[in-house]
Every structure is written in C-alpha cells, then in structure tokens.
C-alpha cells in the first residue's frame, strides 16, 4: 500500500468507525458486529503506526467510544465530569495475544510477586456510582470517558443498586461496573414492544442502554435491570486502604454492593486459559449476557507501575469470545422486496437456539452471496450471530448435503408485483423498478416513514398492512389525512387505539427536518447523510434547487447519492407528496427556518402548564409555528396561561395575582386555524394540530 492509498484507507476507517460507534453507543442500534468493529479498529491502529504522519488525536484509536450525542449530553440528562477518566479496555479475540499480555507483564514486573484477577466481561452499559457517607450520591454513564450523563434518578430504580451501604466504608469513593438486562427481562420487554407495535431491541445490551436513558424514571423500575460492579479506582480511596484489586472487591461486597462472584485469582497463563475455556461454555447457563473474560494484574502497586495509555490501562486486557455458532437446516428461501425495491433473499431455518434466542431466519444479502455460499434448500448450514446481534449464515456443511439438491434460481421477476427485475452496473442487488405500484415497496416506505428513527408514529407492520389493504394509505402523506372513522375500521382498533395513533401523528410535527428528510426514504440517504444534507442546505426548498454538482459537494455525498437525491427532488409524484407533507405541518427546514402554519398567535407570550391530550412539547411547537412565543414562567408580560389538568398551583396563583388570563385546551384549539374537533365519529384532522 502506498502513502496515498494509506491516507485514503485511514480516512475511510475513521468515518466507518465513528458512524458505527455512534450507532452502538448513542442510538443503541448497531448494524456491525463487535468482531467486525474491533477488526477495523485494529486495522486502523496498524495503519497509523505504519504511517505516523497521518495519526491524529481525534482518531477513534485514541478516544473512548462515547454514549453522548453530538451536542454533548443525551436529551434530558445533565452532563458531569468524571473525577477519574473512565477508560475502555484493549480487547482481543486471540488466545495468543492473551498469552503475549501475560508474557509482557512477567517481563515488566520481573522479580515481583503478582497475580492475575480473571473476571467475566459483561455485555451491558458501563456505569460509575459515587457514594458519599455511605449513601448513593451520583451515577454517571461512561460518556466520552471524561464527561458522562447523570442518570442518578434512574439508577436508584435498579433493584440491586443499594442507596445506602452497611459496614465500614470510606467517606467518599466511586465504583464502576455494568448495567445489564437479563434474558428473561429482555424477552418480556420485546414481547410487549411487539404488542405495542414498537420496534424490538436488537439485543440485551441495547435494551439496557435504552432503559438507563429513559426520561421517565418511573419506567426504569419495570425493565428488570441488573447491576454488577467490578472496579474501584484506587485513587478514590487512598493507597493504604487495600493492596489488591480482589481485596477491594471483597470489601465492596461486604458493604452490600453487587460484585460478581464469578472471578478467580490465577498465577500463570495456564490458569488464565483454563478460566477462559471454562467460561466459554459455562456462560451459556448464565441468566444475563457476557461476551468475554477480563484479565487484570491484581496487585495495585503493579497496576500503578504499568500505568495507562490514552485509551486503556496497560494492566488489563479483555478476551472476547468468538460468535456462537450452530448448525441448522435450510427449509426454504424467501425473496423480500424492500422500500427501495431491493430484493433480498432470506433463508427460513429449522429453529435453533443461538446466544440466548431462537433463530428461525437469516438474511443471505444478495444473489452473489448466495452463489458464493452455494447454498441450497435442504442444506445444513453454519449460523452465527455476529456480536450476538444479527443471525447470518457463514458456511454450508457439505458432508450433510442431500444428493438430489439443486442450486436455487434467483427470481427474474418481482416476487410481489411480477415486474422484471433490473440490476445496475456495479450494484450487488437486483431491484424492482415498479416503485409506485409494487405493494411491498409501498408498505416498506410507510413502515420506514413511521419508524422510531424517522417520524416515530405508532404504526407497526400490522397497522401499515391494514391501512394499505383498506385503501386508506399508499404514501406517507396519506397518513395525515386519516380520520377517526377510518381508523375504527381497522381490526381490533377502538377509540383509545385511534387516539394514540392520532396523538403520535400530532407529535410527529415536532420531528426535526433532518429526520423528516431521512423519513422520506430517498435511496442511499441514511440517517447520517440526511443530517449532512439538512445541515448544508437548511431546507427542502434549497435541496430541490441544488444542482447535481452542488449535491455531490456535500460531505460524505458522492455521485451515486447525489444522483438519487436529484432524481427524487425532480419527480412529479414525490414533489406532490412533499407539498402535502408541508401542508400537514411537517418541518421542511432546520431550526431558524421553520415552516409557519399561521400568524394566529403572533405577538402572544404563552406559558404551558399541566397535562394535555398531546405532549407539552408538541403544544409548544404549535404555539411557535402559529406565531406565538413560549415562556417558562408567568410574568406581567404573559398573554395567557394554557392550563391542562394538574396545572402547577404556583403558576395558577401567579395568574390570579397579575390578572393573567387562563385558557383551557379546548379554548386553545379554537384559537388556531381549523381547530380540533372532539373524538367520536367526527373527522379529526391531524394537519390542524
């Protein structure tokens, strides 16, 4: 590899790792396995060591993966500094590298009497607990290692985190560990999410992270979270308090803290390997997810001598178990048509237990992948979950192949609408070009539009299926014209279901422009690309007016994406839909360039207090987009108080003192164009609220 190629690959790896780190830590929706991520990170480390002139302090190799979003703290949480940096561990999938770690330690600590503390590596979300005078004072997430989100109000809802300690403990100290979601809690949560037509969590780690960041702390208690603690920074308690890491954990357990009992003191690399080999099998019987073993130098003075890198301690290493694999039989192969028309083969398998869940299906990606695997119906195939996330077939056990097996033929026509499939030069996938008439594409676009990361509308696969089959919705804009009488025709729907759906439509009006752009489902435009386009152009109108060259000049947007966006923005059918969405009240510009709905509230300063039929944030958004100004407290400048049920008594009293008008929710709807009619057989137009 020459210098120019190395520079290009380094930049590419940094982009890939940064985006997948964000998906893992911030969005809790990983698309890459841990192993794939780690291999790319090791490749980047190797390239930066070989080409030091391209190294950078901003590289992912020098930073801890962060659970903070791009604006700092996660929404709804205060960001606070860690007293001591909260680093990550260097990790490996190689036993040879574990042996090399032990050999380096023996060489560097030659003549010293030291041991190793071997522990399980838990697959959850990192947390740091601070105790003052025996009482839980603060709980922080890892964040970026220097700053973390204050999740204390949620941590106190985790049943095995003690709020008060027993015994003799330091006046103040911190202890770190992991918040986990046991398999039983994970299955229960996902079952409920499916019933509520919400997207299920990909794995227990994501579910634990999402639960720890719930804005409503009352919901945390019902999530069944579990905490296990494994590290007290020696600096936080003084050098003379204990002489080893294991001694510190024993003391923590005596104070009532939940410390893992599955640890062992080892004296040499043979004992370390014995521990790893035992738990590689025994972990499958544990009630919570683990993904490896951690080996630490046990003696604290040896830890201090070995020190730290910018990213991790030199006195510890994590060995990660390879993805669990199982053998299953291919029963049949389905061909699914996605929202962009891409046809994806999916293997239906004999049910097999893998990494704590039952696997029945695995994607085959495309025709080339099928040919590469030479997969056939009736084959016994090797299935694994990369990073214990998405099942995939990694190979065929040819010795078990039936004698009369035949290679499946990839369809030439769309399996849904019968249109001949097409494949562009350089593309791996076959596509159905019938975007406007293919039912699976239409329903796929509706599902994408309503998904949590897009418009977050309460409409799962079953709802979309019913709306399409009844002729009520064939494009996203149709959703905003639905009436209560139409919704009550959906099987199993009552007044409450219809109201929840319409409320979620109303709340979707507050979704920022970048997510609206993502929700449109433009081919190749993912979340990150939508953000880049929104930030660069600021509004849908500016994107419509942009040339191909201007689109391609945007960060991370190449010719293929630019062509797709340009084509979409010049399609008469898509232009008509975007105009309908604009009239429905969706944000078609970034903040500062809001799409106004009317000037009915112009010049009015309004304070919102209490509970309403839609969220207060949605009401505030409506006030702003009808020309009004939101205020947080009542003053002589307040035009009126918009009061719902359980309004704050202090605000009500202040209004009475100052003679400020108090307006009910019904009166508010009457103030804005179109109003909002009550529930019943009347038409409820979400476009008006």
Same domain, 574 and 612: no
Same domain, 135 and 250: yes
Q: Check residue 676 and give its pLDDT.
A: 60
CA distance 447 to 627: 33
Q: Check residue 687 and give its pLDDT.
A: 28
Domain CATH number, residue 622: 3.40.50.10190
Domain CATH number, residue 13: 1.10.287.610
Is residue 428 in a domain? no
Only one residue has tokens 């001949």, namely: 420
**Whether 652 contacts 662, CB under 8 Å:** yes
Same domain, 273 and 137: yes
Q: Check residue 27 and give its pLDDT.
A: 56
Q: Is the dihedral angle over the CA atoms 69, 74, 78, 80 positive or is it negative?
A: negative
Same domain, 558 and 614: no
Q: What is the DSSP letter of 470?
A: T
Is residue 415 in a domain? no
Q: Check residue 18 and give its pLDDT.
A: 76
Domain boundary among 290, 320, 350: 320
60, β-bridge pairs: none
**Whether 459 contacts 451, CB under 8 Å:** no
Count Cβ neighbours within 10 Å for each residue of 207-222 and write b for 16 or more, e otherwise: bbbbbbbbeeeeebee
**Whether 108 contacts 134, CB under 8 Å:** no
Active site residue 637: no
Domain CATH number, residue 495: 1.10.150.20
Only one residue has tokens 């930066």, namely: 48
Is residue 667 in a domain? yes
Chunked into runs of 10 residues, the chain (689 residues) has average pLDDT values of: 78 79 59 66 81 76 55 62 85 88 91 94 93 94 87 92 92 94 88 66 84 84 92 81 93 94 93 94 88 94 87 88 84 90 91 79 84 90 68 86 90 95 82 92 93 89 93 95 93 90 92 94 85 88 90 80 93 93 93 68 88 78 81 84 85 88 90 58 28
Same domain, 310 and 373: no
CA distance 357 to 266: 33
Domain boundary among 584, 613, 647: 584
Active-site choice (7, 107, 121, 429): 121
CA distance 144 to 141: 9
CA distance 448 to 442: 10
Same domain, 448 and 564: yes
- Phi, psi at 54, each rounded to 5°: -100, 0
26, 453, 360, 196: CA torsion to nearest 10: 110
Is residue 67 in a domain? no
Same domain, 537 and 611: no
Is residue 589 in a domain? no
Tally of CB atoms within 10 A around 324: 16
List the strands of the sheet with 91-92, edge to edge: 91-92, 316-320, 290-297, 116-122, 264-266
Q: Check residue 194 and give its pLDDT.
A: 65
CA distance 126 to 229: 10
**Whether 223 contacts 185, CB under 8 Å:** yes
- In the structure encoding, which two tokens stand for residue 238, read together? 């003084």
Cβ-proximal residues to 559 (8 Å cutoff; 6+ apart), any chain = 548, 552
Q: Is the dihedral angle over the CA atoms 344, 350, 352, 358 positive or is it negative?
A: positive
- In the structure encoding, which two tokens stand for residue 41, read together? 């990170």
Same domain, 269 and 254: yes
What total of structural domains would you count in the chain? 5
CA distance 215 to 423: 45
Tally of CB atoms within 10 A around 569: 19
Domain CATH number, residue 262: 3.30.470.30
Same domain, 514 and 474: yes
Domain CATH number, residue 336: 2.40.50.140
CA distance 166 to 372: 61
**Whether 282 contacts 335, CB under 8 Å:** no
Count Cβ neighbours within 10 Å for each residue of 288-321 and write b for 16 or more, e otherwise: bbbbbbbbbbbbbebbeeeeeeebbbbbbbbbbb
Same domain, 568 and 453: yes
DSSP H helical ranges for 338-395 = 367-373
Same domain, 247 and 346: no
Q: What is the DSSP letter of 284?
A: G
Is residue 310 in a domain? yes
> Domain containing 652: what range?
605-672
CA distance 220 to 296: 32
Only one residue has tokens 């119906």, namely: 377
Q: Check residue 457 and give its pLDDT.
A: 93
Is residue 223 in a domain? yes
Is residue 434 in a domain? no
Domain boundary among 404, 427, 449: 404
**Whether 654 contacts 673, CB under 8 Å:** no
Same domain, 189 and 168: yes
């Amino acid at each position: 590899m020459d210098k120019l190629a190395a520079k290009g690959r380094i930049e590419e790896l940094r982009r890939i790792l940064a985006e997948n780190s964000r998906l893992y830590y911030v969005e809790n929706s990983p698309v890459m396995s841990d192993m794939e991520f780690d291999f790319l990170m090791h490749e980047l480390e190797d390239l930066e060591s070989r080409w030091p002139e391209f190294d950078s302090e901003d590289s992912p190799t020098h930073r801890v993966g962060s659970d903070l979003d791009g604006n700092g703290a996660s929404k709804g949480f205060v960001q606070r500094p860690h007293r001591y940096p909260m680093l990550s561990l260097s990790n490996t999938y190689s036993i040879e590298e574990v042996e090399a770690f032990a050999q380096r330690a023996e060489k560097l600590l030659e003549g010293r009497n030291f041991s190793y503390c071997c522990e399980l590596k838990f697959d959850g979300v990192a947390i740091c607990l601070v105790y003052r005078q025996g009482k839980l004072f603060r709980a922080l997430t890892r964040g970026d290692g220097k700053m973390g989100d204050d999740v204390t109000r949620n941590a106190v809802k985790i049943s095995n985190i003690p709020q008060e300690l027993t015994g003799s403990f330091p006046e103040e100290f911190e202890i770190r560990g992991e918040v986990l979601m046991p398999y039983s809690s994970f299955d229960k949560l996902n079952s409920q999410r499916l019933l509520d037509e919400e997207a299920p969590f990909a794995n227990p780690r994501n579910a634990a992270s999402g639960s720890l960041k719930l804005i409503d702390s009352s919901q945390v208690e019902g999530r069944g979270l579990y905490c296990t603690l494994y590290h007290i920074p020696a600096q936080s308690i003084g050098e003379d308090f204990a002489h080893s890491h294991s001694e510190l954990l024993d003391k923590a357990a005596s104070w009532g803290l939940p410390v893992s009992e599955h640890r062992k003191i080892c004296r040499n690399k043979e004992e370390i390997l014995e521990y790893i080999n035992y738990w590689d099998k025994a972990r499958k019987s544990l009630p919570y997810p683990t993904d490896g073993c951690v080996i630490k130098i046990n003696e604290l003075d040896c830890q201090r001598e070995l020190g730290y890198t910018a990213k991790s301690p030199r006195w510890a290493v994590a060995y990660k178990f390879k993805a669990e694999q199982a053998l299953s039989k291919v029963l049949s192969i389905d061909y699914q048509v996605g929202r962009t028309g891409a046809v994806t083969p999916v293997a239906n398998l004999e049910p097999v237990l893998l990494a704590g869940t039952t696997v029945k299906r695995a994607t085959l990606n495309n025709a080339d992948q099928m040919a590469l695997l030479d997969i056939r119906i009736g084959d016994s195939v090797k299935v694994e979950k990369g990073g214990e996330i998405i099942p995939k077939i990694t190979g065929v056990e040819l010795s078990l192949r039936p004698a009369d097996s035949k290679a499946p033929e990839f369809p030439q026509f769309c399996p849904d609408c019968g249109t001949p499939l097409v494949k562009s030069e350089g593309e791996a996938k076959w596509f159905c070009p019938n975007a406007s008439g293919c039912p699976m594409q239409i329903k796929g676009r509706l599902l994408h539009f309503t998904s949590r990361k897009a418009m977050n509308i309460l409409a799962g696969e079953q709802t979309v299926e019913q709306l399409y089959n009844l002729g009520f919705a064939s494009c996203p804009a149709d959703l905003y014209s639905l009436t209560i009488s139409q919704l009550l025709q959906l099987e199993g729907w009552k007044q409450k279901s219809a109201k929840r759906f319409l409320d979620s439509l109303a709340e979707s009006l507050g979704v920022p422009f970048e997510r609206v752009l993502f929700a449109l489902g433009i081919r190749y435009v993912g979340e990150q690309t939508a953000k880049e386009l929104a930030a660069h152009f600021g509004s849908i109108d500016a994107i419509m007016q942009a040339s191909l060259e201007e689109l391609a000049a945007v960060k991370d947007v190449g010719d293929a994406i630019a062509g797709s966006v340009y084509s979409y923005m010049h399609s008469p059918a898509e232009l008509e839909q975007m105009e309908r969405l604009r009239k429905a009240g969706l944000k078609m510009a970034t903040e500062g360039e809001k799409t106004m709905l009317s000037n009915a509230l112009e010049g009015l300063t309004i304070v919102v207090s209490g509970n309403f039929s839609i969220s207060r944030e949605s009401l505030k958004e409506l006030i702003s987009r009808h020309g009004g100004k939101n205020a947080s407290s009542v003053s002589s400048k307040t035009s009126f108080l918009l009061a719902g049920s359980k309004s704050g008594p202090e605000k009500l009293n202040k209004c009475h003192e100052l003679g400020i008008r108090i307006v009910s929710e019904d009166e508010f709807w009457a103030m804005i164009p179109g109003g909002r009619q009550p529930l019943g057989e009347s038409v409820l137009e979400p476009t008006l609220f």
